[in-house]
Amino acid sequence: MELILKNLRAFDPQTGLDGVTDIAVDGGRIAQIGGEMPPADRVIDCTGLTAFPGLFDMHVHWRDPGFTEKEDIFTGAAAAKAGGVTGVLLMPNTKPPVDSAETVKYITERGAQTGINVYTSACITKGMKSEELCDYDELKAAGVFCITDDGRPVENAELMRQALELSVENGMCVSSHCEDLKIINGGIINKGRVSEALGVKGMDRASEDYITAREIALAASCGAHIHICHVSTRGSVNIIRAAKAYGANVTCETAPHYFTYTEDKLMSRDADYRMSPPLRTEDDRQAIEEALLDGTIDAVITDHAPHTAEQKADFLKAPNGVVGLETSLAATLTHFYHGGKCGLDRIVRLMAVNPRKILGLPPVKIAVGESAELCIFDPNERWTVVPEKLHSKSKNTVFKGETFTGRVKYTVCGGKIVFEDM
């Protein structure tokens, strides 16, 4: 046997598993759960630790190709491993954008060397210009199963409708960055009390709410599934909740900063708190929290978006985006589990089960014969986020200086320990 994890609380609602046990791993798979364990090359005492199926982040930006001063596929993967993430879906706003089989091949070949499962989405429109649809047959043959122009909306509604219509035939997931750029009109933070106090141009929430409603209407017109990215407003939550109640095939996601912080963080004029969509009001934050608990929001993602310190230095001119792969589980555990708002069942579904289900990927389970993909964490360890210690090439975390309860100790993928907290 290659590896035995002893005295580990294994938690997987997919299999009904919840208890302290031993897990044996061999040949990349879970060979045994419980019972008398055979000799092994390595035995780890996991007393006090909990295992989830490996987490899956379905919304990350690794900037490779084209912007590797911010991140590359290997440093992005290092950050994912440190966060207990064994699978990711990359967004296509690279340089060049992911709109050809050649670029898909470049990313997948590099991703295969990381030790985790790296998938890439591709563009809905060529060059993300909202002018012409990509060749989806070519992209699907290259291994793409999700299309999005994330980083930008598809401005042409008819092209978006056509993409959704084609998705019914080709089985691709279509996800949408819900912003109306004309409404945004150069805004850099949420439009409201804080933008007025700082004297900066705001991003009106109507931008997100309007495109959310548009996408759901377009998808319903052709019987397609639509996935709404990084939901941040009460308006969008209400639209999605109502659509689900009426049977619309819509799923959605949000990120930890939207249920943790509000626009008040921007009073510091620190661009590390700027992202798109922006931090909103306390009412919006509460709406996101409620939607995560009642099932309206299906997944927690990070929208991991690295930028260099130099790029983030100027509050007014800095690009939007924050890193988050290494803090996502800790932030979610701290806010929801330790906050007494939900149990582990909801968290593992939001971060491991649902993202794979939405994308049509095979489930990852803690069961004999299954691929050994595990996020092993200490649910009670307190730690403080120090940006300089993050594995990401960029350090623009919204959670700098925050103390969390819950820390990843080991990440196992394909039966190999790919991260170990030393």
CB 133, CB 102: distance < 8 Å: no
pLDDT digits (tens, 9 = 90+) for 387-417: 999 999 999 999 999 999 999 999 999 999 9
pLDDT at 422: 79
pLDDT at 248: 97
Residue 45 has pLDDT above 90, yes or no: yes
The tokens 């401005």 sit on which residue?
Answer: 155
Q: How much is the mean pLDDT over the chain?
A: 98
Asked if residue 12 and residue 133 are part of one domain, the reply reads: no
Three-state DSSP at 323 gives: strand
Rg of the chain over Cα atoms, rounded to whole angstroms, equals 21
pLDDT at 79: 98
Asked if residue 354 and residue 374 are part of one domain, the reply reads: no
Domain boundary among 314, 339, 359: 359
Asked if residue 235 and residue 294 are part of one domain, the reply reads: yes
Peptide bond between residue 277 and the one before it cis (omega within 30 degrees of 0):
yes
Length of the chain: 422
Residue 326 has pLDDT above 90, yes or no: yes
Asked if residue 86 and residue 41 are part of one domain, the reply reads: no
Q: In the chain, count of helices (H) and strands (E)?
A: 13, 18
The rounded percent of the chain whose pLDDT value lies above 90 is 100
Asked if residue 407 and residue 273 are part of one domain, the reply reads: no
pLDDT at 70: 98
Asked if residue 244 and residue 171 are part of one domain, the reply reads: yes
Domain boundary among 332, 359, 386: 359
| Spatial CA neighbour of 371 closest among 329, 332, 416 | 416
Residue 364 inside a domain? The answer is no
pLDDT digits (tens, 9 = 90+) for 69-111: 999 999 999 999 999 999 999 999 999 999 999 999 999 999 9
Residue 380 inside a domain? The answer is yes
Q: How many independent structural domains does the chain possess?
A: 2
pLDDT at 111: 98
Residue 252 inside a domain? The answer is yes
pLDDT digits (tens, 9 = 90+) for 2-42: 999 999 999 999 999 999 999 999 999 999 999 999 999 99
Cβ-count burial 342-353 (b if 16+ within 10 Å, e if not): bebebbbbbbbb
Retrieve residue 181's tokens: 């750029």
Asked if residue 396 and residue 250 are part of one domain, the reply reads: no
pLDDT digits (tens, 9 = 90+) for 228-267: 999 999 999 999 999 999 999 999 999 999 999 999 999 9
CATH number for position 231: 3.20.20.140
Q: What is the pTM of this model?
A: 0.98
The residues that bridge with 17 in the sheet, in sequence order, are 12
- Residue 260 CA to residue 138 CA, distance in Å, equals 40
Range of the domain at 106: 55-359
Non-local CB neighbours of 411 within 8 Å, separated by 6+ positions: 54, 81, 82, 83, 84, 85, 86, 374, 375, 376, 417, 418, 419
Asked if residue 382 and residue 278 are part of one domain, the reply reads: no
Peptide bond between residue 319 and the one before it cis (omega within 30 degrees of 0):
no
CB 379, CB 336: distance < 8 Å: no
Asked if residue 413 and residue 281 are part of one domain, the reply reads: no
Mean pLDDT of 365-374: 98
Asked if residue 226 and residue 341 are part of one domain, the reply reads: yes
- 345 classed as catalytic: no
Annotated catalytic residue, options 303, 314, 345, 421: 303
The DSSP element (H or E) to which 59 belongs, if any, is strand 55-60
The type of residue at 191 is: K
pLDDT digits (tens, 9 = 90+) for 114-141: 999 999 999 999 999 999 999 999 999 9
Question: What confidence category does residue 342 fall into, taking pLDDT thresholds of 50, 70 and 90?
Answer: very high
pLDDT digits (tens, 9 = 90+) for 177-213: 999 999 999 999 999 999 999 999 999 999 999 999 9
